[in-house]
Structure 1
Amino acid sequence: MTKNRETGTHRVLILGAGYAGMAAAIQLAARGKRRANVQARGKRRENVQVTVVNAQERFTERLRLHMSATGQPVAELSIPELLEGTGARFVRGWVTAVDADAKLVRIDDDRVLHYDTLVYGLGSVADTAAVPGVEDHAYTLNSAQDAELLAERLARLGRGTVVVGGSGLTGVESAAEIAEQYPELDVVLLGRQEPGAAMSPRPRAYLQAALARLGVRVLSGVEVMKVLPDAVELAGGELVAADAVLWTSGTRVSPLAAAAGLTVDERGRVVTDAALRSVSHPDVYAVGDAAAIRQGYGVMHGTCQGGMPTGVHAAVSIVRTLDGRRPKPFRFGYYHTPVSLGRHDAVVQFTHPDDSPRRVYLTGRMAARYKETVTASPWPTYGRMKKMPASGAFWPRGGRFTRVRGAR
């Protein structure tokens, strides 16, 4: 690895302060302190400067956006406050270009940031371009601000119909939350697959029964052709009246990686090697939803469950390389799929490492408590990362910390 000849410091630039980016930043900062202590004891080691770039100072707790969308109070979390005391620097700005050959990043106020190692974690957003009318007439849950816009709309509706487009887990949680908080509204959940399609039969049946108890009308096996100002048009021409539409079907990533010349997959995600480095530019690590990470069972899909471990592992790999050691392969297996069904109900499908369902599952209040534990605010988790010794890497699983294989 190279370093800035003028300062003698290795500059690590992290793009995106989501779950994966923040995990990478805090792990790097903690390990940087450890390396500084080693250097103080007489062993020469390169200093590490960590800079985090994000479009806003507020941390987006994506796992709680369906709560924000129904007007429920959630904590406003500050990225600079979390980074305080770590030594990591925060830069607020929209990334407009990445030059992977010149090793620089441009942001929207014309600033240019140089790096020696880049951690690319710009994540994903709802795909509003695939279906006509979504961009103009539908709400999304891409940010806290988006969720608050929907909350304002729902609070003004009184009575009416809310259509949730997309029957995946985000759609299910959102439909259940809206139906519970606004029982006077008619909530319609529609998608190509039935809700809970990836679950085993019993938890899937429980999930569907819970939606029915909440009054959610489910239309599965349908395809949305167009979103209109007051309706959703299905294949075949059928119209579903809608006073508000929430779009949760499909995701897309930023085109910046492809424009930078990084090797990307068909969805625009950065293709990585076993250590999470770009296969075309080894000084670029990709984490979270922005990365196409292949495991033995296939390419990982984007979830917080997998995002934070990728950030941690990228940090570990960077430090190992700076110390003259080879980074170890990233290994990850899925553990569970927790789905909230309002505030006091949930279903948790435990899974095999390849995310296929096991026979074990939880339902009801116990599942709700479990989900609340494992998807609680990341603030305590990041706080522990700052304090724990940097001899291993950890991420939360089921309310406890689990060591990343190959961290040392």
Structure 2
Amino acid sequence: MDSAGFDPERVRADFPLLSQEVNGHPLVYLDAGATSQKPQQVLDAEIDFLLRTNAAVHRGAHTLAAEATELFEDARRTVAGFVGADEETLVWTHGATEGLNLVAYAIGNATAGRGGAASAGLALRPGDEIVVTEAEHHANLIPWQELAARTGAVLRHIPVHDDGTLDLDAAAHLVGERTRVLAFPHVSNVLGIVNPVAELAELAHGVGALAVLDACQSAPHLPLDLPALDVDLAVFSGHKMLGPYGIGGLYGRREVLEALPPFLTGGSMITTVTLDEAEYLAPPLRFEAGTQPVSQAIGLAAAVRYLDALGMPAVHAHERELERRLRDGLRQVDGVRLLGDAEADRVALVAFDLDGVHAHDVGQVLDAQGVAVRVGHHCAQPLHRRFGLTASVRASASVHTTAADVDAFLDAVAGVRSYFRVHA
């Protein structure tokens, strides 16, 4: 048991996949930043629903449909509570990417005059500005590029310092009277640094802009209270927080969701339809057209109950110890260059370049020893370009990661250059 009173060996036992060997070695899974493994409790919850209660929600009046609807909405309450929100402010999406596209396209629909007077305040005019950061995942960059192209808005970006922290002085100059949206990550998926969300939200609100948060890399690792952070909109992804694929959440302040016109349209999100027009439900159902991800939502609720039972402060403390072990160990390996090596609040995620060896070759050597990491640009090409790279190796831990996992990873990395006969 570590100093935070957290028992990772006990936690690890809840994850069936981690008991296997890969290439003749015990599996060391350090790719949680890409997708997390699922504890048995999550698998059981989703399977139990499919075995016992599977039915369409918000449609039928029969017993199974009523029970499925109750479980589905209970899942919404549970997940909303995990991020400090009310159930009416949580929209189910199929992932964070869809959530960000929903917001960007809904603002575009407002710009096109859809949504009436309530949406008019969200409309963009040519010359208005959307501000992002140099550290964005492509999912929080490309939707804004597209929105700027459709509306004539200007896309600007906040640079990062050499140590990976955001240039907040530059941000204060970039965010001005024409800024309508400020979108940024809570935690960079490459750098692992926790950004100053409240400060950035205050900067946005000072000029009347929306603050949009990508919380994909924070929701599984930090205590999270989105209303307290004072962001207007935020997204997170279920498969990165021990939950199923195909489910995510969009949190929005009530008045913002009410002002956004719908993005996807069809069944389940309407009140009245004629052959010529339709009226839409209030949020969150306004944004949930079509077949809902029911079993996935129930699985995600099980995942947040699991995290709640562990205690998110304890999870963060455990992972901070792993993060220090990762960075301290990598600093001892000849040829390693850490990306974003700032002394700041962080999650257990590190990316690095190994001199003389391509990231993909590093990943292959590690995989041969049963160590799973991510290699490539991690859907963050501009950030890699900022550091003069096309690819890096990323190790990202989770609740089940142990000190032994980290040490096995470090031992494997230490042998890579000699394997390729690369010397200083």
Normalised to the residue count of structure 2, the TM-score between the two structures is 0.31
Higher relative contact order (CA 8 A, sep 6+): 2
Higher helix share: 2
Higher strand share: 1
Normalised to the residue count of structure 1, the TM-score between the two structures is 0.32
